Amino acid sequence: MKLITLLAAGLAGTAGAASAQTEIHWWHAMSGHLGEVVEEIAARYNDSQDEYTLIPTYKGGYEDTMTAGIAAFRAGEQPNLIQIFDAGAATIINAPGATIPVADLMAEHGDGFDPTDYIEGVRYFYADSDGKMIGMPFNSSTPLLYYNKDALAEAGFDAPPSTWEEFEEMAPAIKEAGYEALAQSHSPWIFAENFHSRHNIQMATENNGYDSTDVEILYNNPDLKMHWTKVKEWLDNGWYGFYGREWGDNQDAFVQKKAAMWLGSSGSFGGLQASADFEFGAAYLPYWTSITEEPYGTFIGGAALFTLSGKSDEENAGVADFLDFLTSPDMQYYWHKETGYVPITSAAYELAKSDGYYETTPDAEIGILQLTQPGGEWTKGYRLGYYVQIREVMYKEFDNIFSGQSSVDEAFEAIESESNDLLERFNATYQ
């Protein structure tokens, strides 16, 4: 509490500057190259019109940005627009009155809002149970398999595995060639959440949590446990490299040619191009043919932009104007090309195609193709409260599986019971 109050006091000083144009404050979590692209988008927007001034501010990682936004909101000094990540979506969407749904905002101030303009994979994730869009998808990514072409060639393969069964057949030869076959960043995201989407398996009761906060998690299921039993085997066989829970440490293992393949985000594409000194390719996230004959599309990851309430109509109109600009095909194409995040509208995707972008860089299309693979009942997304903590529980128990401290059964029982305790708390808080 002490820090929240201090933080809010500090923010009060920065948010009040006045100018002739209406200022729109946008807090985001994009650092490095991504942050530069955000600055560039803001600069282009400010040049494109003279009614509003958009001021983007970097607030740290996803969690830091959300915490800063919460502290500011409690102090009445909130920004107009804030970037909130997938795991935090329930925290803002379930607090009625914290945010103005983007569908309402655009209907009131913009040219209206048509969800069918957006590609299928991103249409529902930040929507409510009726399909009304609450947050505007911004940086949307999806898990992909990256592979070192030289390493696979050394092991005698010219293509990456498309299923986990194929992976198991290839792994011994890759190990023989002197590589760990696979490393991965963010196991809860790829080996839990997207595992369910990829195989069209229900993740939580109440329509994956969209219909109610009174929900129970269904992670303790035989398919996911089978997968983790296999992952533990891969680790013990030396096919799977584990470099801790940090995203970058596992990506580094791939960049430094310790691991021949790496599961990361479609948004990692630009970063890999800059850091890897070998030829690599991107491929779809593998699936188990023992669970499903044909794979289903994955969830989007990343974050969305939420309009915080309590601002003047004039400023809200500015936010709507900016979101219009941001979702224009030109800007989406620019964002897609610079970062590797997927374009969120069909029009932007068509523009990228007609511009010949995927002919020169076919790997850049893999993410969006995967998102538009056939959807099933359980591929829309999930809405679970205190999901940040639930991911912590998963990280913890996955460690225990790897170290052998817990069996797969024990670990998933712990995940189930601790997650349900957290969901029960969330439900009691946000009723």
Residues that bind another protein (CB under 8 A): 1-5, 63-64, 66-67, 70, 73-74, 88, 91-92, 94-98, 242-245, 249, 252-253, 256, 258, 386, 388-389, 392-393, 395-397, 399-400, 402-403, 405-406, 414, 418, 421, 425, 428-430
User: Minimum distance from CB of 118 to another protein (Å)?
Assistant: 26
Minimum CB distance to another protein smaller for 98 or for 371: 98
Question: Whole-number minimum distance, CB 90 to another protein, in Å?
Answer: 10
State the nearest-atom distance from the C-beta of 191 to another protein, in Å: 16
CB of 63 to another protein, least distance (A): 4
Closest to another protein by CB, 241 vs 343, is: 241
CB of 404 to another protein, least distance (A): 9
Min separation Cβ 99 and another protein, Å: 9
In angstroms, give the least distance from the CB of 70 to another protein: 5
Please say which residue, 33 or 425, places its beta carbon nearer to another protein.
425
Nearer to another protein, 126 or 157 (CB): 126
Closer residue to another protein in complex, CB, 48/429: 429
Q: Tell me whether residue 42 or residue 423 sits nearer to another protein (CB atom).
A: 423
Of 126 and 387, the one with the shorter C-beta distance to another protein is 387
What's the per-residue H, E or C state across the chain?
CHHHHHHHHHHHHHCCCCCCCEEEEEEECCCHHHHHHHHHHHHHHHHHCCCEEEEEEECCCHHHHHHHHHHHHHCCCCCCEEEEEHHHHHHHHCCCCCEECHHHHHHHHCCCCCHHHECHHHHCCCECCCCCECCEEEEEECEEEEEEHHHHHHCCCCCCCCEHHHHHHHHHHHHHCCCEEEEECCHHHHHHHHHHHHCCCCCEHHHHCCCCCCCCECCCCHHHHHHHHHHHHHHHHCCEECCCCCHHHHHHHHHCCCEEEEEEEHHHHHHHHHHCCCCEEEECCCECCCCCCCCCCCCCEEEEEEEECCCCHHHHHHHHHHHHHHCCHHHHHHHHHHHCCCCCEHHHHHHHHHCCHHHHCHHHHHHHHHHCCCCCCCCCCCCCCCHHHHHHHHHHHHHHHHHCCCCHHHHHHHHHHHHHHHHHHHHHHCC
